[in-house]
Amino acid sequence: MSQAETSRGDQSATPNGVLQPGTASAGDDLLAVNAVNVHKFFGRTHVLKGIDMQVRPSEVVCLIGPSGSGKTTFLRCINQLEEINGGRIWVNGELMGYYEKNGRLHVLDDAAKARQRRPIGMVFQRFNLFPHMTAVQNIIEAPTQVLGISKSEATDEAMNLLEQVGLADRAQNYPSQLSGGQQQRVAIARALAMHPQLMLFDEPTSALDPELVGDVLKVMRDLAEEGMTMVVVTHEMAFARDVADRVVFMDAGKVVEQGTPAEVINHPSQERTQQFLSRMVSDPHV
Ligand SMILES: Nc1ncnc2c1ncn2[C@@H]1O[C@H](COP(=O)(O)OP(=O)(O)OP(=O)(O)O)[C@@H](O)[C@H]1O
Ligand SMILES: [Mg+2]
Q: How does pLDDT run along the chain (286 residues), one tens digit per residue?
A: 333 333 333 333 333 333 344 444 556 778 999 999 999 999 999 999 999 999 999 999 999 999 999 999 999 999 999 999 999 999 999 999 988 788 787 889 999 999 999 999 999 988 789 999 999 999 999 999 999 999 999 999 999 999 999 999 999 999 999 999 999 999 999 999 999 999 999 999 998 888 889 999 999 999 999 999 999 999 999 999 999 999 999 999 999 999 999 999 999 999 999 999 998 876 555 4
Candidates 241, 129, 235, 234; CA nearest to 185 is: 129
Pocket lining: 47 vs ligand 1, CB cutoff 6 Å = yes
The ligand 1 atom at the shortest distance from the C-alpha of residue 76 is 18
pLDDT at residue 22, as a whole number: 43
What is the chain's alpha carbon radius of gyration, rounded to the nearest angstrom? 19
Pocket lining: 69 vs ligand 1, CB cutoff 6 Å = yes
pLDDT at residue 284, as a whole number: 54
By alpha-carbon position, which residue is closest to atom 18 of ligand 1? 70
pLDDT at residue 115, as a whole number: 92
pLDDT at residue 217, as a whole number: 95
Query: What CA–CA distance (Å, rounded) separates 2 from 146?
Result: 36
How far CA 237 is from CA of 23, 49, 206, 257, in Å, comes to: 35, 25, 12, 16
By alpha-carbon position, which residue is closest to atom 8 of ligand 1? 73
Candidates 79, 170, 160, 162; CA nearest to 119 is: 79
pLDDT at residue 14, as a whole number: 37
80: left (phi over 0), alpha (psi -120 to 50) or beta: left
* Single-letter amino acid code for the residue at 104: R
pLDDT at residue 27, as a whole number: 60
What backbone phi and psi angles, to 5 degrees, belong to 13?
Answer: -60, 135
Q: What is the 12 CA–ligand 1 centroid distance (Å)?
A: 18
Pocket lining: 68 vs ligand 1, CB cutoff 6 Å = yes
Q: What is the 126 CA–ligand 2 centroid distance (Å)?
A: 11
pLDDT at residue 259, as a whole number: 97
pLDDT at residue 280, as a whole number: 82
